[in-house]
Amino acid sequence: MGATCTIAVTDWATAITIILTALAVLLTAVAIMVGVVAIWGFASLKDEAKKIATQAATDEAHKTAVQVATEAVRAATRGVWSDAQATAMIEGQAEGLEHGPFAHPEREQRTKATTDKNLRQGQ
């Protein structure tokens, strides 16, 4: 048969004290588990937020760099190139930057060919 635990309670005050003590121990154990889960969740949330923020910052930086470069080329070539030619030049360079044109000579050649094609179309 199973073991039984009997506690001799002499009065109600002792019984309530025992019950409240057991409840306090149980709540403490639950609080510790919640704390461990919260720490683990915070670490996961932090890593995911870092990934999202990095991607958003990279996208925005690329977009801003292309806009600034386009305006700089237009300002520098005003009277020499049309706006279409300047835009074609920047789009060709931006396309190359997305693929890391200087990492491989063949990509650099493709980027140059794309830029030249864009410039011819802009004339």
Q: Region 72-98: what's the mean pLDDT? A: 70
The answer to whether 83 and 107 are in contact (CB under 8 A) is no
- The model's pLDDT over 55-77, given as tens digits with 9 standing for 90+, comes to 999 989 888 887 887 788 777 77
- The model's pLDDT over 38-51, given as tens digits with 9 standing for 90+, comes to 998 998 999 899 99
pLDDT at 100: 46
Residue that wins the pLDDT comparison between 48 and 104: 48
- Give the C-alpha separation, 103 to 68, whole Å: 24
Crossing angle, helix 83-98 and helix 105-122, to 10 degrees?
160
- The model's pLDDT over 5-20, given as tens digits with 9 standing for 90+, comes to 666 667 888 889 999 9
Residue 87 CB neighbour total at 10 angstroms: 16
Residues 6+ away with beta carbon under 8 Å from 77: 85, 86
Give the type of residue at 9: V
2 pLDDT tier (thresholds 50, 70, 90) = low
The answer to whether 112 and 121 are in contact (CB under 8 A) is no
